[in-house]
Structure 1
């Protein structure tokens, strides 16, 4: 059998017709001014090469379809669920419907979703991007409006974004722990939807240094994505450092792991270890004691991202992001370390 012939591209058509790519695009999209002779030459070359333009290559019609695309890393994550609710609330007021798809933070899958949304002629896309700019460049090239939420891509500074001030939230949490007397706070980090992975750890390190506390590298632990990895990271931290008095969990998955491991190690919260968690998920307030958290306004983030998309200015250049505040919500999971005024008596720490 003969090998499959490579699919023709718009560049192949341009070369065969002896014109530029922009001219081919105008001919195939039916927009712009092209002479009859050039149009006939381009169409003949496209037929000869059996050129089949992609959804992105065909471009978007000017008419509105009343639909928006929403790209999420994980639809089951509580943050993403609240974020989606915010997008839907806003879209409903605007008379739009929303098409949702999940990238699992896979750039290739994300690019396929963008291509499919373009083919469905959505009026724009709201996305928590994976971190790869390739698929989004293609969207920008055909004028598909895009708004990023939670993350920005340095390679695409012109794409509007709505962000949460994660750095300020982490700073508030570290300041609170150090203020209670925890001189060597621990950091349990890992990937989290709606933020760049390194933002929270960098904020933790900077704040510990600024407050004159001790940055102990042995107390900075990173977990990969998933509950098993977070549990292993938390267990390793408590086993390796039985002297740890406070933990800042950089998301609700490592926060859940910290609570479970502390319970299995017979550590009382907050008598033996104080815990602060980023993200105010429903179970945080149901813990005994309820967890102190850095609350990020996921629902408002989604609502505002939808608003920005619909009001996106037709300008080129860097657009300042909309930044929403994070709030430290103090509950019962933190106290001064043993030996300080106000500290509860410490239990024997079983191993």
Structure 2
């Protein structure tokens, strides 16, 4: 009787044996920078496991598996669900399948997924990146065709690789204009103590908020949250309790907006009498709130559709496609009392 086929060694197996991350293995085997000790450990592990890094892309374009990979932080989030719908709509017109991976905005989980895509010789990826650029530059050198959607990679832990990352095409909403319009609206209502709740990866929105606030900026009112509902609620509740003088808040996305509404309700903070609220993302429940929420609407489906068009395009592609946002005024904002 023949023995069962032995499982093929993967890049994750090499990472575990070497005691490093998948991104580090990818970087070393694709010729990227690493310390001599780390490089020796990775190469030694690859030799012991008889790992053959063909999936790192030496022949990716000749061995393309077809289809598009889409990496998003949370497929249950309304914004990312609509973005995915845009990708799927475009992919159908090309008769290309789409594989969806969820990163949880976790760089390690994102690195695992990128490594798996390289293993499968899939060469077209649309990603909402976590913000950590460590694994992306080696993956690009390995032949991965990448388009960033909604945000870019902002943190470059490997000196000299930011230029490579900057060349990746991106489809973005105009965060700066959206934040500026929201801040101008709130200050026009007389608000000066304005808070900002930002989730991991929302670097551009946070920068835009600081710029728009100018001399009115109070750094204590800029509060970060991790990519979970519990963290979002804790950030909103902590802000409202710590700074009862706050009169308005802008949230970086709909999860943070939901957390702000719940925290205000729990703390008996009345919207808009005690606190004006503007939320990034126009989601169906925003109109159902009492009062309905003022939002900065983003074209999520268009972002996904345009990103899919770019990743399918051969030859020269635009560096950045910037899509407009829109301030939709409802009942959650009022004049400062």
TM class, shorter-chain normalised?
Answer: 0.7 to 0.9
Indicate the SS of the match to 1:276. Answer: strand
What are the Cα deviations for residues 216-261 of structure 1, in whole angstroms up to 9, with x where unaligned?
A: 3343333333222222222222223333221112222221121112
Residues 1:188 and 2:187 aligned together: no
1:305 deviates by: 0.2
What are the Cα deviations for residues 86-126 of structure 1, in whole angstroms up to 9, with x where unaligned?
A: 10000001111101112223333323322322333335111
Which residue in 2 is equivalent to 1:178? 187
| 1:137-216 correspondence to structure 2 within 5 Å | 137-153=137-153, 155=162, 156-191=165-200, 196-209=201-214, 214-216=216-218
Indicate the SS of the match to 1:200. Answer: helix
Which residue in 2 is equivalent to 1:34? none
Measure, in 1, the Cα distance between the counterparts of 2:269 and 2:293.
15
What are the Cα deviations for residues 188-221 of structure 1, in whole angstroms up to 9, with x where unaligned?
A: 2232xxxx43322221221121xx6x32334333
Q: Is there any run of 5+ residues in structure 2 with no aligned partner, and where? A: 1-12, 15-28, 31-46, 155-161
Distance 1:143 1:295, change over 3 A: same
Which residue in 2 is equivalent to 1:335? 334
Decide which of 288, 293, 296 is 1:294's aligned counterpart.
296
Distance 1:172 1:51, change over 3 A: closer
| 1:184-333 correspondence to structure 2 within 5 Å | 184-191=193-200, 196-209=201-214, 214-313=216-315, 320-333=319-332
Distance 1:109 1:235, change over 3 A: closer
Indicate the SS of the match to 2:226. Answer: coil
Indicate the SS of the match to 1:288. Answer: coil
Distance 1:234 1:140, change over 3 A: closer
Measure, in 1, the Cα distance between the counterparts of 2:65 and 2:234.
47
Which residue in 1 is equivalent to 2:3? none
* C-alpha RMSD over aligned residues: 2.8
Measure, in 1, the Cα distance between the counterparts of 2:220 and 2:64.
55
Which residue in 1 is equivalent to 2:107? 107
What are the Cα deviations for residues 251-298 of structure 1, in whole angstroms up to 9, with x where unaligned?
A: 222211211122222232112211111111221111011100111111
Distance 1:58 1:189, change over 3 A: closer
1:66 deviates by: 3.8
Does structure 2 retain, via aligned residues, the 8 Å contact 1:66–1:95?
A: no
Distance 1:52 1:175, change over 3 A: same
Measure, in 1, the Cα distance between the counterparts of 2:140 and 2:120.
16
> Which protein is bigger by CA-based radius of gyration?
1
What are the Cα deviations for residues 113-144 of structure 1, in whole angstroms up to 9, with x where unaligned?
A: 22322333335111112223343233322322
Measure, in 2, the Cα distance between the counterparts of 1:161 and 1:95.
23
Does structure 2 retain, via aligned residues, the 8 Å contact 1:235–1:261?
A: yes
Distance 1:309 1:57, change over 3 A: closer
Does structure 1 retain, via aligned residues, the 8 Å contact 2:57–2:118?
A: no
Q: Is there any run of 5+ residues in structure 1 with no aligned partner, and where? A: 1-5, 8-20, 23-46, 339-351
Which residue in 2 is equivalent to 1:39? none
Which residue in 2 is equivalent to 1:13? none
Measure, in 1, the Cα distance between the counterparts of 2:238 and 2:108.
34
